[in-house]
Amino acid sequence: MSTSELAWFKSSYSGSSGDDCVEVAVTEQAVCVRDSKDASRPHFAVGREGWSQFLGFVSEA
């Protein structure tokens, strides 16, 4: 799936001034992550199980 076909959305923790933003797009196989300040750069993908583990980790921090 190409970057333009993904439904990207900003993190709810992103600042309102438009800087330091992370965007994610969810597919059946993975969660894709990119820097919204430079959307032309490649994104990375994390398996859904790995993403769930990451969210569990950061919610405890």
Rounded Cα distance between 17 and 26, Å, is 24
Largest Cα span, the chain = 33
Map out the domains of the chain as residue ranges: 3-60
Nearest in space to 45 (alpha carbons), one of 61, 59, 28, 20 = 28
> What global pTM score does this model have?
0.74
Rounded Cα distance between 9 and 24, Å, is 6
Is residue 36 a contact partner of residue 10, using CB atoms and an 8 Å limit?
A: yes
Sequential pLDDT tens for the chain (61 residues): 566 689 998 877 666 666 668 889 999 999 999 988 887 888 999 999 999 999 899 888 6
